[in-house]
Amino acid sequence: MKLVIDCNILISASLGSKVCGLVFHYALSDHQVYYCQAILDEIRKSLGKGYLQTQEIQRKGNYLLDYLSIYGTLIEPQILNFTLPDQADSIYMGTAMSAQADAIITGNQKHFPPLLCGPVRILSPRQFLTEIHPDLNL
């Protein structure tokens, strides 16, 4: 499956979310994950926010960011000809469209209205895990 992972998944995994940690693990080990430079920049900016400044969170976040950079695929996002409810999410949809991704995994599904997203499915972390590993006890 071709995927784009929203920044909120990486941040939640850094904060200790088991579900988001599993999403990150399975997405990068079993699927093709795409990202763009703007996504990396947003992750770095988010990791620099005050409440994420503990050494442990920074270490986990930087590790996951490195993992994404190594095992994901860097591409240029497509410029959208429509506006999402949260314009900052355009980088994710543009990357998904450029990669011809099957899905975006996000904790903010309402930011990606199905009528605008076309063939790109918008999955919550639990939906993704349930779909690929229905035997997991979450």
CATH classification of the domain holding 92: 3.40.50.1010
The answer as to whether 92 is a domain residue is yes
The answer as to whether 76 is a domain residue is yes
SS3 call for 136? coil
- On the question of pLDDT at 52 being above 70, the answer is no
pLDDT digits (tens, 9 = 90+) for 92-134: 999 999 999 999 999 999 999 988 888 999 999 999 999 998 8
CA distance 1 to 88: 24
CA distance 75 to 22: 24
The answer as to whether 85 is a domain residue is yes
The answer as to whether 23 is a domain residue is yes
The answer as to whether 137 is a domain residue is no
- On the question of pLDDT at 12 being above 80, the answer is yes
Q: Is the pTM of this model over 0.85?
A: yes
The answer as to whether 124 is a domain residue is yes
Specify the number of domains making up the chain: 1
Note down the domain range covering 83. Answer: 2-132
Burial class (CB in 10 A: 0-12, 13-18, 19+), 103: buried
The answer as to whether 75 is a domain residue is yes
Mean pLDDT score, 1-10: 96
Cβ of 64: how many Cβ atoms within 10 Å?
23
CA distance 128 to 106: 10
The answer as to whether 138 is a domain residue is no
* 16-27 residues labelled b (16+ CB within 10 A) or e (exposed): ebebbbbbbebb
pLDDT score at 8: 94
CA distance 3 to 104: 6
